[in-house]
Amino acid sequence: MNSVSVIGSGFSGMASAAFLAKAGCEVTVLEKNDSVGGRARAFSDSGFLFDMGPSWYWMPDVFEKFFANFGRKPEDYYKLIQLDPGFQIYFGKGDVMQVPASMDGIYDLFERTEKGAADKLRMFMKEGRYKYDVGMSELVYRPSFSWTEFMRYDVIKGAARLHLLRSVRSHVHQYFRNERLKALMEFPSLFLGAMAHQIPALYTLMNYAAFSMGTWYPMGGMVRVAEAMQELASELGVNFRLSEPVTQMQVEGGRVTALHTAQGRVATDGVVAAADYHHVEQALLPQEYRNYNTGYWQGRTMAPSCLLFYVGVRRRVEGLIHHNLFFDRSIDTHAREIYEDPQWPSEPLFYICCPSKTDPSVAPAGMENLFILVPVAPGLEDTDDMRAHYRKVVLNRLKEVTGEDIEKDIIYSRSYCINDFVADYNAYRGNAYGLANTLKQTAVLKPTLRNKKLSNLFYAGQLTVPGPGVPPALISGQIAAQQLLKKIKSQYHEAVI
Ligand SMILES: Cc1cc2nc3c(=O)[nH]c(=O)nc-3n(C[C@H](O)[C@H](O)[C@H](O)COP(=O)(O)OP(=O)(O)OC[C@H]3O[C@@H](n4cnc5c(N)ncnc54)[C@H](O)[C@@H]3O)c2cc1C
């Protein structure tokens, strides 16, 4: 039996571990932190349970497909609730657009907002479905070592319909005139770590997924999904070693032969490195075995980091639903301050998740659990004063827009930002979501999943293919495991022959 190691227990690492164990490997996951989940960990304090990272459960089919590989279903581990409305967007004081769960409701909303927009949305969705079917059913599961992997007759024939050379923004603007509808349709691009004008319109498949498949919530929080992955992996025999950071990879004869950790040495036949790619290469590998140098990383467009506030309020907060986007200031100004001229935002847009609207287990009775996210450029100077300033800004804006003044009712508050991403996850420049999915950083143009000099080392996670987000992380872990297994098999055959 081959003994393999996985560095990091985020979604990508745990997905890899499960596939490797299913194939008969003896798998050890080495995790720096004291709990699994990576950016999707949670913490409890003062009776509140806070998800620390992801809060949107989109593309439920990807989770179903993942668990089906092991003869399981998501509901074997957690209970999913579809949110209705899926989310709401504030455009100003008391000025809110709620996005219903049903497609009929969404068509009505479009028609009410712009005459004729419902029919346009029908066309948009038809195209989105094509992109989703082609992109998510197969292409996204390719390792992206070469463009030839995508040279399928039907893909080439339908390439123009994938809209790779047009941006999300120009695609959306071709369909809709109303500024609110444009903002609504461009918002999923933020999940991909860049602005709508930088992202290929292929990714409007996200709009299709959001509208047609809905916005879901796993009761108990997103952390339930991470715990489910750990349970599944453990059932398959994976050994988790928490609070054991990997400090170095030992290399012999063109292969990684062992991992050195804070606790000792772990001999290995193969590695999936599912911690942040930049950290793995720059901190754990000797220079001559790295795929990329520092200049390469400096030239990448990172997805944003974020300033987060985990807030417990001792009363109910009106005007919020589960997911709330505050688009009551200029999106373009904030975007410029993230991507083009990195600086702390002058008037940030922000997002508030209030899971206690759906799930009584995440807050004491009658209280509210708020997760406030302000996207910011990675690599900014992160200070207590800056955090305190933005805490005031978001609380004032919440008051201005919803009429709710919660300051005096806050009984728990913790901030989390760039310095924490670096300290907790070894995140390059404190990024939150990895590498942006711009055209120049898509598929083969992303940091490659394999180490070009060490035959048994593969990378997984949000800095390699397919990109940022929980569903892509699951897929990334699967592809990396499959590539390592292929290598192990071929080496076995070489040895036998
Ligand atoms: C605030 C926030 C909100 C988000 N919202 C959403 C959302 O709503 N929906 C969505 O789909 N996605 C969302 N995302 C993105 C999503 O969470 C990530 O893309 C995904 O979880 C990344 O998984 P990963 O396995 O690539 O990396 P990670 O989760 O970062 O896992 C990497 C692991 O490696 C460990 N590690 C690092 N260095 C070492 C070392 N030397 N030795 C051992 N272990 C090490 C880390 O501790 C970590 O556990 C969000 C992310 C953040 C931060």
The model's pLDDT over 326-365, given as tens digits with 9 standing for 90+, comes to 999 998 899 889 988 999 999 999 999 999 999 999 999 9
Question: Which of 61-70, 87-96, 235-244, 432-441 shows the lowest mean pLDDT across its residues?
Answer: 432-441
Residue 146 has pLDDT above 90, yes or no: no
Residue 497: pLDDT band with limits 50, 70, 90:
very low
Closest protein CA for atom 46 of ligand 1 = 425
Q: Note whether 111 and 178 are same-domain residues.
A: yes
Given phi > 0 = left and psi -120 to 50 = alpha, else beta, which region is 355? alpha
Q: Note whether 450 and 409 are same-domain residues.
A: no
Q: Note whether 362 and 389 are same-domain residues.
A: yes
Is 83 among the domain residues? no
Q: Note whether 173 and 226 are same-domain residues.
A: no
> In a 3-state reduction of DSSP, which class is residue 261?
strand
The mean pLDDT value for 152-166 works out to 71
Closest protein CA for atom 10 of ligand 1 = 469
Residue 495 has pLDDT above 70, yes or no: no
Q: Note whether 243 and 192 are same-domain residues.
A: no
The model's pLDDT over 257-314, given as tens digits with 9 standing for 90+, comes to 999 998 999 999 999 999 999 999 999 999 999 999 999 999 998 999 999 999 999 9
Is 238 among the domain residues? yes
Q: What is the CATH number of the domain that holds 397?
A: 3.30.519
What's phi and psi for 465, nearest 5 deg? -75, 150
The mean pLDDT value for 487-493 works out to 77
363 or 490, greater pLDDT? 363
Domain boundary among 187, 213, 239: 213
Q: Tell which one of 224, 418, 470, 476 to mutate to probe ligand 1, the residue whose CB is within 8 A of the most ligand atoms.
A: 470
Q: Note whether 232 and 338 are same-domain residues.
A: no
Distance 469 CA to ligand 1 centre (A): 8
Q: Note whether 326 and 411 are same-domain residues.
A: yes
Distance 8 CA to ligand 1 centre (A): 9
pLDDT reported for residue 437: 82
Query: What is the CB < 6 Å shell around ligand 1?
Result: 7-13, 30-33, 38-40, 53-56, 245-246, 274-275, 279, 306, 308, 373, 425-426, 432-434, 461-462, 468-470, 473
146 or 59, greater pLDDT? 59
* Rounded-to-integer distance, Cα 35 and Cα 41, Å: 7
The answer to whether 5 and 266 have CB atoms below 8 angstroms apart is yes
Q: Which two structure tokens, joined as six digits, stand for 419?
A: 């310095």
Residue 430: pLDDT band with limits 50, 70, 90:
very high
The mean pLDDT value for 4-21 works out to 98
Q: Note whether 310 and 421 are same-domain residues.
A: yes
Mean pLDDT in the chain?
Answer: 94
Instruction: Tell me what percent of the residues of the chain surpass a pLDDT of 70.
Output: 97
Is 87 among the domain residues? no
Distance 220 CA to ligand 1 centre (A): 19
Range of the domain at 180: 103-213
Amino acid at 471: P
Q: Tell which one of 19, 28, 39, 302 to mutate to probe ligand 1, the residue whose CB is within 8 A of the most ligand atoms.
A: 39
Residue 83 has pLDDT above 50, yes or no: yes
Question: Which of 133-137, 265-269, 458-462 shows the lowest mean pLDDT across its residues?
Answer: 133-137
Q: Note whether 333 and 443 are same-domain residues.
A: no
> In a 3-state reduction of DSSP, which class is residue 6?
strand
Please confirm whether the linkage preceding 466 is cis (ω < 30° from 0).
yes
* Total structural domains within the chain: 3
Indicate which atom in ligand 1 lies nearest the CA of residue 245.
Answer: 42
Q: Note whether 148 and 229 are same-domain residues.
A: no
Q: What is the CATH number of the domain that holds 174?
A: 1.10.405
Distance 318 CA to ligand 1 centre (A): 31
Tell how strand 270-273 and strand 305-313 pair up: unpaired
Indicate which atom in ligand 1 lies nearest the CA of residue 246.
Answer: 42
Indicate which atom in ligand 1 lies nearest the CA of residue 30.
Answer: 43
